Structure 1
Amino acid sequence: MTKIGDKITQLRKQKGWSQTELAKQISASREAIGKYERNEALPSVETAKKIANAFGVTLDFLVDDATTPSLDKETVKRINDIQEMDSTTKTVLFNVIDTYIQHFKTKQAFAK
């Protein structure tokens, strides 16, 4: 089970930001960021939304305690756009995506 503080720490380190840099991004104090990361305090919903936006992830990803990967906002937007397409267009698009996925997996297999 991954806690919100652990996710904030992980995302912050992935961005290469200090606690101070994240605090500036969301208009909070470095001390508050430290408390969130140590799981000593939970951010308010508004602050959690600001944190999610700063990292480009969904609020769901940030607050969900599952350790499974989640989708970033760009991917979610694309999926929503795809859902609005007619079935013929979706089929063509899925065929293209499947081809790229297979190509990627093949490259990975031979790289090992």
Structure 2
Amino acid sequence: MKFIAIRQHRSECPNPISFTQGATLKLGEYYCDDEMEYWYFCTLDGDKGGWVPEQLIERIDENYGRALEDYTAKELEVNSGDKLKMTKIMNGRAWCVRKSDGDEGWVPEQFLMLAQS
């Protein structure tokens, strides 16, 4: 689906967590509110951390989970008016590809408006 960014978005995480299916994740803070629903702050080997959607985690025990699919927390920095193609929505975030340069990443869903054809 085609969308237009209606607000500027800048990433607060210059080094986002990325992992492949089957990776072991240490589960930290659980976060759920109107802006960001059902996310865990996860770390890999006590090193790199980031927010991961709950449905991508198979719980091993109280403190650990296993990744159910490949994932990156990379955010796409957008300016108002950027034309985007959305390929996935998950927990208040949309995975988008910017048409002008092909860069891709997560954008808050409320920063997007459906483009007129």
The structure with the largest strand share of the pair is: 2
Q: TM-score, normalised by structure 2?
A: 0.26
Structure of greater Rg:
1
Q: TM-score, normalised by structure 1?
A: 0.27
Higher relative contact order (CA 8 A, sep 6+): 2
